[in-house]
Chain A
Amino acid sequence: MKVNSPLEVYKHLPQTNCGECGEATCMAFAARMIDRSARLEDCPPLLDEQYRKKYEELRQLLAPEVREVVIGTGEKAIKIGGDDVLYRHQLTFFNPTGLFYDVWDTMGDEEIAERVNEIQGFKKFYVGSFLTPDGIAIRSTSGDPERFARAVERVCSITDRPIVLCSFDPAVLEAGLRVCSSRRPLLYAATADNWQHVMRLAKEHQVPVVLSAFGDLDLLKSMATTFASAGIEDLVLDPGTYPSGKGLRETFENFLKLRRAAILEGQKEVAYPLMGVPATAWLMYEDELTASYWETVIASMQIVKYADVLLLHSTLPSALLPVLHIRDTIYTDPRRPVQVEPGIKEIGKPDASSPVFVTTNFALTYYTVESDLASNKIDCYVVVVDTEGIGVEAAVAGGQLTAEKIKDTLEKEHFDVKEKTEHGVLVIPGLAARLQGELEDVTRLKVVVGPQDSGRIPKWMEKNWPPE
Chain B
Amino acid sequence: MKREIDLEELNRILRKLNIEGLEDVHIEGDVEIELDMAHGGLDPAFLQSLGHEFAQIAMHLLNISQLLGYPVQRAMQPQPPQLELPTRLADERFSVGGISEWKHRIEEVTLGATSSDGGTRSHTITLGGEQALPYYFDAEMPHGNYITMDVFDMPIGMAKAVKVNYEDVMEDPAEWAKKVVREFNADMVTIHLISTDPGIKDTPPREAAKTVEDVLQAVKVPIVIGGSGNPEKDPEVLEAAAAAAEGERCLLASASLNLDYARIAEAAKKYDHVVLAWTQLEINAQKELNRKLMKQCGLERDRIVIDPTTAALGYGLDYAYTNMERIRIAGLIGDSELSFPISSGTTNAWGAREAWMVSSPISEDSDWGPREYRGPIWEIVTGLTLALAGCDLFMMMHPASVQVLKDITQMLHGTITENDVDIKDWITRVVV
Residues of A bordering B, CB below 8 Å? 87-89, 102, 104, 106-107, 121-126, 130, 139-141, 143, 166-168, 188, 192, 195-196, 199-200, 203-204, 214, 217-223, 225-226, 229-230, 240-249, 252-253, 256-258, 260-261, 264-265, 267, 269-270, 277, 279-280, 282-284, 289, 293-294, 296-297, 300-301, 304-305, 313, 316-319, 321-322, 325-326, 328-330, 332, 334, 338, 362, 364, 368, 371-372, 375-376, 390-391, 393-394, 397-399, 434, 453, 455-456, 458
Contacts and interface: CB of A to CB of B under 8 A. Distances in A.
Contacts of A375: 361-364
Nearest to B256: A398
Contact of A226 (B83, B86, B366): B86
Interface string B72-90: 0000000000011111111
Nearest to A248: B411
Contacts of B99: 264
A123 B357 contact: no
Contacts of B86: 199, 226, 229-230
A394 B280 contact: yes
Given A126-B314, A317-B368, A329-B314, 5 more contacts: A125-B360, A166-B427, A199-B86, A294-B404, A326-B317
Given A300-B384, A329-B317, A249 B414 contact: yes
B412 interface: yes
B385 interface: yes
Nearest to A89: B322
Interface centre among A223, A301, A398 (most CB of B within 10 A): A398
A318 B381 CA distance: 11
Interface stretch (B3-11, B163-171, B370-378): B370-378
A-B CB proximity, top 9 nearest: A455-B361, A317-B369, A318-B373, A217-B94, A245-B419, A246-B417, A225-B90, A221-B92, A261-B96
B298 to A, nearest CB: 25
B430 A317 contact: no
B423 A283 contact: yes
Interface in B324-339: 325-326, 329
A242 B314 contact: no
B33 to A, nearest CB: 35
A243 B377 contact: no
B116 interface: no
Contacts of A326: 313, 317, 381, 385
Q: Which of B96, B351, B429 has the most chain A CB atoms closer than 10 A to its own CB?
A: B96
B362 A372 contact: yes
Contacts of A261: 94, 96
Contacts of B418: 245-246
A240 B423 contact: yes
17 contacts: A139-B428, A140-B428, A141-B432, A199-B86, A218-B92, A222-B89, A226-B89, A245-B418, A253-B137, A267-B96, A280-B426, A297-B380, A316-B373, A328-B314, A330-B321, A393-B351, A453-B357
Contact of B381 (A195, A300, A362, A390): A300
Interface of B: 83-94, 96-97, 99, 135-137, 199, 229, 231, 256, 258, 280-281, 309, 311, 313-319, 321-322, 325-326, 329, 351, 353-354, 357, 360-370, 373-374, 376-378, 380-381, 384-385, 388, 404, 408, 411-414, 416-424, 426-432
Contact of A301 (B354, B369, B408): B408
A168 B427 contact: yes
Contact of B136 (A121, A220, A256, A294): A256
B419 A329 contact: no
Contact of A455 (B231, B353, B408, B424): B353
Contact of B369 (A143, A258, A316, A458): A316
Contact of A245 (B87, B317, B411, B432): B411
A167 B427 CA distance: 7
A92 B389 CA distance: 16
Contacts, number: 265
By CB atoms of chain B within 10 A, which of A204, A321, A393 has the most?
Answer: A321
A245 B416 contact: yes
Contacts of B314: 126, 325, 328-329
A309 B373 CA distance: 25
A399 B280 contact: no
A344 B257 CA distance: 30
Contacts of A222: 89-92
B430 A279 contact: yes
Nearest to A303: B385
Given A126-B314, A220-B94, A293 B368 contact: no
Contacts of A221: 92-94
Contact of B326 (A89, A204, A305): A89
B377 A296 contact: yes
Give the residue among A253, A297, A305 with the most B Cβ atoms within 10 A.
Answer: A297
Contacts of B416: 245
A464 B431 CA distance: 50
Contact of A372 (B309, B361, B427): B361
Looking at A121, A245, A264, A318, the one whose CB has the most chain B CB atoms below 10 A away is: A318
B209 to A, nearest CB: 23
| Most chain B Cβ neighbours within 10 Å, of A130, A188, A199, A249 | A249
Contact of B385 (A123, A300, A398): A300
Contacts of A265: 96-97
A272 B317 CA distance: 28
Given A297-B408, A318-B369, A330-B318, A199 B280 contact: no
B326 A225 contact: no
A410 to B, nearest CB: 23
Given A317-B366, A375-B363, A304 B385 contact: yes
B336 to A, nearest CB: 20
Given A139-B428, A241-B423, A280-B430, A322 B377 contact: yes
A87 B325 contact: yes
Contacts of B353: 453, 455
A243 B357 CA distance: 30
A229 B90 contact: yes
Nearest to A126: B314
Contacts of B426: 277, 279-280, 283
Nearest to B199: A434
A318 to B, nearest CB: 4
B368 to A, nearest CB: 5
A124 B360 CA distance: 9
A316 B371 CA distance: 12
Contacts of B93: 218, 221
Contacts of B318: 88, 329-330, 332, 334
B420 A247 contact: yes
Contacts of B357: 453, 455-456
Contacts of B84: 230
B359 to A, nearest CB: 10
Which of A141, A143, A371 is packed against the most chain B CB atoms within 10 Å?
A141
A390 B281 CA distance: 9
Given A218-B92, A222-B91, A124 B430 contact: no
Contacts of A257: 94, 96, 137
A206 to B, nearest CB: 12
Task: Give the most central of B370, B411, B416, B419: most A CB within 10 Å.
Answer: B411
Nearest to A269: B92
Given A226-B86, A245-B418, A317-B368, A282 B427 contact: no
Nearest to B388: A304
B377 A139 contact: no
Nearest to B325: A87
B364 A317 contact: no
A167 B425 CA distance: 10
Contact of B411 (A168, A244, A393): A244
Nearest to A219: B89
A397 B94 contact: no
A283 B430 contact: yes
In the complex, which of the residues B84, B357, B416, B428 has the most CB atoms of chain A within 10 Å of its own CB atom?
B428
B354 A321 contact: yes
Given A226-B89, A391-B311, A297 B384 contact: yes
